[in-house]
Amino acid sequence: MRTDLLGAIVIAAGFVIAAPALAQNPEPGKGPVAAACQQDIEKFCAGKEHGQGAVRACLESNKASVSAGCANALDTTGPGRRQ
């Protein structure tokens, strides 16, 4: 009985810990960079597929030309996040 209770607590704790991490990974094309860079994606990265990093790499390579809001999103999210 005690083992069952402990197991249930461990599983529940795992869900509580994992939930914020899962919430930070929106589906491809729906995150903060996609929202802030929509026009820049259409202008510089048309045809690139969301989800494997191609769009972000394209935006990063055109960073000097993208909008200020897009550049900020690149700097503050994902691999571009400032330490």
pLDDT tens digit sequence for 58-74: 999 999 999 999 999 99
Computed over every residue of the chain, the mean pLDDT equals 81
pLDDT number for residue 78 = 84
Q: Which residues contact 32 (CB under 8 A, 6 or more apart)?
A: 73, 77
Query: Alpha-carbon distance 15 to 27, whole Å?
Result: 19
Whether the Cβ atoms of residue 37 and residue 15 lie closer than 8 Å to each other: no
3-state helix, strand, coil in the chain (%, to 5): 65, 0, 35
Whether the Cβ atoms of residue 53 and residue 45 lie closer than 8 Å to each other: no
Q: Which residue has the higher pLDDT, 10 or 63?
A: 63
Flag whether pLDDT at 11 surpasses 60: yes
Structure confidence by residue, pLDDT tens digits, 13-36: 555 554 455 455 667 778 999 999
The H or E element that residue 34 is part of is: helix 32-36
Give this prediction's pTM: 0.64
